[in-house]
Structure 1
Amino acid sequence: MEVVLTIAAPVFGLAILGYLAQAFGWLKEGASQTLATFVFNFAVPALLFRSTAGEPLPHDLPFTYLLAYYLPTLAIYGLGVLGSRYLFRRTKMESVIGGMANSYSNLVMFGMPLVLTTWGTVAAQPFFLLVAFHALILFTITTVWLEMLKARSDAQGEGLAALTAKTVKSLLANPIVISLAAGILYGQTGWGLDPAIDRFLELLGQAVTPVALFGTGAALRQYRLGGDLMEATAVSLSKLVIHPLLVWAVMTFLFDLPPLWVAVGTLSAAMPVGVNVYLFSERYGVFQRRAGSVVLITSGLAMLTVTLVLILLGVSG
């Protein structure tokens, strides 16, 4: 019960406050997007650079850690595609969105505050390594797959080449990737941070948790339950239960990673479905109502499932 009172309840309480603020009209339209932009472009890079600039990267660990997280994540992505296609009889394009919903965690707006609240900045390095590759891997796979399904066979090569160039360009301009790389490189110099700069980055980084959660709650106000709720519920349970369980098992028994890194990876996998799944469904005109339902259901159930995960990981508050 202590973990609920000291970690989960305050975190989800901020999201609920944001939801109510948007519902009662206390926020202007588009406010949640403005908050998200501030978090992603300013607060997160400051926190990430500060936490990595003075912490040497563990030798030979990141690649193994990334493999231990993304192998089970891609496995459950594939299972989600098969389930949507053959169990719920969806089209191929709908099934791809279904697979993404099974595996795409809301790492930035939900995961980041929870991880940092639970373990502090010591968890920043393993967490942001996942964040740096999360959208790159899952966005690319989903986009390529959907584009291949909708494009003519003679236009696939051109489409993939353009996608590759766009992906590389986006990666090089990504604030999280830039700050992660800059922090790691600076950390190797051993110079340390000037006290004034360190305090500036600390103050900016402290805005991550409250602003991200408040903004996420406000953004959730736009979604509604609809479509096949049985399918949406099945996808939600797969995301909140099977995904973290699979990541934990792979990290623990196949790769034998340090406990903190296992815990961060497991909690990251236990996050609700990210809103980008809904944005993909809107972009391609498939699975929209179910995607909106999955975002809402997982966000609503996450307090219960995340609390359970924290207890199982031995976090007492």
Structure 2
Amino acid sequence: MNNLVNVLLPVFLVMGAGYLAAWRGMMTDSAIAGLMKFAQAFAIPVILATQMAKMNVWASFHPAPLISFYAGALAAFGLSVVLARSWLGRAPMDAAAIGFCAMFSNSVLLGLPIMERAYGPGSLDGNIAIIALHSPLLFTVGILAMEVARAEGGSLGAVGMSALRGLFRTPMVIGILVGFALNIWINTTGIDLPRPVWDAMNMIGRAGVPAALFGLGGVLHRYRPEGDGRAIAMVVLGSLVLHPGIGYVLGRWVFHLDTAALRSVVLTASMAPGINAYLFADMYGAAKRVAASAVLVATGLSLLTIWLWLAILP
């Protein structure tokens, strides 16, 4: 329990500092927006590019754990989109943003440190394989859904072209593609980037997570969860219950995963929505209040649900 608090508490403290700064007028709305723009368009894409460039992408790839994890993620997305439209009556773009929040777990900022603290540094191979696909796959699903929603009523060809343009104009997807290209280049030619380039990328990347968390705290001051309780609850249930639950059922009783793989699937799936869930909603200007509040509420509740999963897992 103390380990979980030690991992989660710094996240809340940085977000709380941003909230306090906005509440006391030390950061204006435009300043918070600029900070989020830096995180969304520059720092987070650099983090993704760096991770993809240095990752041994193929080392730990096995289909059964990946299917177990992503089946749960896509189920949480699909169910949340349908319920947001049919039950809550939200607009199509809002529904796509809510669905994205439900499926996008915080696999890096929380998933890796909690896994390492619980089971040791040697337990991370399965997590790395999941993370290698996490942002590229889920951002592709989210962007395609958002572009289809935004082009509602258009022809199939127009919707497809709009989705492709939206996908390849997204800074985070560009960062992933650049990182993948660098990975191929370095491993094929043996020629690495100069050390100063890596150092500069690392400097920008290190600023990304705290900047995004601080900015999110400021956003929470502006977007309070008034009238969005059902949508927030739906995101919390999708991310903390449905996603890891499906991963556990498929991993244990369908694919009969070994203990290490099952731990990686379920614990990664049990993480609350990450900062990218809000950045995605902010990028499209859809369901921003739901996304910001869901990240905060789910991160707090995940302290209990992760503790429960740690007790259930072998």
Does the TM-score normalized on the shorter chain lie above 0.5?
A: yes
Match of residue 212 from structure 2: 212
For 1:173 and 1:182, how far apart are their aligned partners in 2? Answer: 14
Deviation by residue 1:218-267 (Cα, 9 ceiling, x = unmatched): 22222123336345434433333223332444455555383575256414
- Pair 1:16 & 2:16 matched: yes
Amino acid paired to 1:262:
V
For 2:171 and 2:229, how far apart are their aligned partners in 1? Answer: 39
SS of equivalent residue, structure 2 residue 213: helix
Match of residue 135 from structure 2: 131
1:252–1:21: structure 2 CA closer, same or farther, 3 Å change rule? farther
Gap runs ≥5 in structure 1:
none
Deviates more, 1:209-218 or 1:263-272: 263-272
For 1:264 and 1:179, how far apart are their aligned partners in 2? Answer: 29
Q: How many residues align?
A: 299
Match of residue 162 from structure 1: 161
Deviation by residue 1:187-236 (Cα, 9 ceiling, x = unmatched): 42345565544444433332233222112212222212333634543443
% identity of equivalent residues: 19
Q: CA deviation at 1:185?
A: 1.2
- Pair 1:179 & 2:160 matched: no
Match of residue 266 from structure 1: 269
For 2:68 and 2:41, how far apart are their aligned partners in 1? Answer: 28
For 1:60 and 1:214, how far apart are their aligned partners in 2? Answer: 34
1:308–1:84: structure 2 CA closer, same or farther, 3 Å change rule? closer
Deviation by residue 1:119-159 (Cα, 9 ceiling, x = unmatched): 599866642531122222122124314643xx2xxx42353
For 1:13 and 1:249, how far apart are their aligned partners in 2? Answer: 35
Gap runs ≥5 in structure 2:
none
For 1:198 and 1:307, how far apart are their aligned partners in 2? Answer: 38
* TM-score (norm. length: structure 1): 0.72
SS of equivalent residue, structure 1 residue 188: helix
1:299–1:176: structure 2 CA closer, same or farther, 3 Å change rule? same
Query: Does the Cα contact within 8 Å between 1:17 and 1:214 map onto a contact in 2?
Result: yes
SS of equivalent residue, structure 2 residue 70: helix
For 1:10 and 1:95, how far apart are their aligned partners in 2? Answer: 35
For 1:240 and 1:298, how far apart are their aligned partners in 2? Answer: 11
For 2:81 and 2:187, how far apart are their aligned partners in 1? Answer: 42
SS of equivalent residue, structure 1 residue 225: coil
Match of residue 305 from structure 1: 302
Q: CA deviation at 1:163?
A: 1.5
Amino acid paired to 1:166:
R
For 2:225 and 2:128, how far apart are their aligned partners in 1? Answer: 34
For 1:235 and 1:50, how far apart are their aligned partners in 2? Answer: 30
**1:22-33 mapped onto 2 (5 Å cutoff):** 22-33=22-33
Q: CA deviation at 1:113?
A: 2.9
Query: Does the Cα contact within 8 Å between 1:104 and 1:138 map onto a contact in 2?
Result: no
Deviation by residue 1:14-72 (Cα, 9 ceiling, x = unmatched): 11111111121111322233223333444334444444444422258277665444332
Match of residue 244 from structure 1: 244
For 2:277 and 2:265, how far apart are their aligned partners in 1? Answer: 21
* TM-score (norm. length: structure 2): 0.73
**1:43-58 mapped onto 2 (5 Å cutoff):** 43-58=43-58
SS of equivalent residue, structure 2 residue 29: coil
Q: CA deviation at 1:8?
A: 0.7
1:70–1:200: structure 2 CA closer, same or farther, 3 Å change rule? same
1:140–1:232: structure 2 CA closer, same or farther, 3 Å change rule? same
Deviation by residue 1:72-121 (Cα, 9 ceiling, x = unmatched): 222223323444466x3x44x6477446524425959x654324554599
1:165–1:313: structure 2 CA closer, same or farther, 3 Å change rule? same
1:147–1:199: structure 2 CA closer, same or farther, 3 Å change rule? closer
Match of residue 80 from structure 1: 80
Query: Does the Cα contact within 8 Å between 1:17 and 1:217 map onto a contact in 2?
Result: yes
